[in-house]
């Protein structure tokens, strides 16, 4: 049997506060529960999923470089970086494996500043508005992609 495919699930600012942060927008699932759901589904799909969260733009960029250098698929919820981080966009553009942008809420149903994503144009695809299910849908999509 082959080794599980490594996948990074990267989360930007404030996502570590899931469960307590605006539950009417982001739901009641805690960050540890998100990690558990992603790693469990990854295991079922034959993937070794590592979930990370940062409030630091530079750290996110370093993780994207790591993924590009290692040809590692990425599921990324950039959080607020979505709308303005050209540094993150440039790092994500260097991808060498699929990169799926996810959002818990539907940004287009929210404030107008959330309607622009600097990441979407270089992502393999975007999944938004399905709560924590957005991450699970992204992992299922990656499972359909041939390993590179």
Verify whether residue 86 is a known catalytic residue. Answer: no
Residue 47: CB partners within 8 Å, gap ≥ 6?
4, 5, 6, 7, 139, 142, 143
User: What is the DSSP pairing of strand 47-53 with strand 125-128?
Assistant: unpaired
The answer on whether 134 is annotated among ligand-binding residues is: no
The answer on whether 104 is annotated among ligand-binding residues is: yes
The answer on whether 83 is annotated among ligand-binding residues is: yes
Verify whether residue 26 is a known catalytic residue. Answer: yes
- How far, in Å, CA of 120 to CA of 146, rounded? 21
Interior angle at CA 10, CA 8 and CA 78, nearest 5: 145
Q: Which two tokens stand for residue 123?
A: 């992502």
Q: Let me know: does 68 contact 93? Beta carbons within 8 Å.
A: no
The answer on whether 61 is annotated among ligand-binding residues is: no
The answer on whether 77 is annotated among ligand-binding residues is: yes
Q: Annotated catalytic residue: which of 84, 86, 103, 135? A: 103
- How far, CA to CA in Å, does 111 sit from each of 85, 116, 135? 18, 10, 22
Task: State the binding site.
Answer: 77, 83, 90, 104-105, 114
Known binding-site positions for substrate: 77, 83, 90, 104-105, 114
What is the set of active-site residues? 26, 103
């Amino acid at each position: 049997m082959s080794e599980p495919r490594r996948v990074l699930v990267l989360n930007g600012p404030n996502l570590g506060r899931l469960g307590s942060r605006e539950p009417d927008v982001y739901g009641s699932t805690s960050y540890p529960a998100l990690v558990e759901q992603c790693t469990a589904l990854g295991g079922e799909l034959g993937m070794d999923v590592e979930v990370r969260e940062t409030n630091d733009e530079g750290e996110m960029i370093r993780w994207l470089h790591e993924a590009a250098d290692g040809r590692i698929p990425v599921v990324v919820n950039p959080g607020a970086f979505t709308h303005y981080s050209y540094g993150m966009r440039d790092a994500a553009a260097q991808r060498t494996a699929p990169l799926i942008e996810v959002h818990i809420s539907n940004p287009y149903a929210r404030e107008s500043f959330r309607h622009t994503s600097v990441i979407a144009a270089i992502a393999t695809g975007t999944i938004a508005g399905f709560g924590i299910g957005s991450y699970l849908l992204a992992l299922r999509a990656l499972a359909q992609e041939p390993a590179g």
